[in-house]
Amino acid sequence: VQEAIITHCEQSRYRFAILDTPPGMTPDEAREWRTYLNFDSSYAALYYPWLEVADLAQGGTKLVPPSGHLAGAYNSVDA
């Protein structure tokens, strides 16, 4: 799915893919995932690690993918 998203963004030339590694990866596994995807594109970025945030509904903490936070950061500086 991620490869198809990257291809779509490259072909449309006006979209950008914000991608996550799968959950629970070590740094070495994340590097291997990046190598597996084998992309070198200005239309996509892969982010790691997943973020530990407060779980206000259940208490404690939970891991969430970084893409949502990064999309917010991109939005705040995109003209």
Judging by beta carbons within 10 Å of its beta carbon (0-12, 13-18, 19+), is residue 42 exposed, middle or buried?
A: exposed
pLDDT over 80 at 66, yes or no: yes
Token pair belonging to 61: 């903490």
Model pLDDT, residue 67: 98
Question: 29: helix, coil or strand?
Answer: helix
- Structure token digits, residue 62: 């939970």
> What is the mean predicted confidence (pLDDT) over 36-47?
95
Enter the pTM of the model.
Answer: 0.88
Please state, in angstroms and rounded to a whole number, the distance separating the CA atoms of residues 69 and 51.
9
- DSSP lists the bridge partners of residue 47 as 20
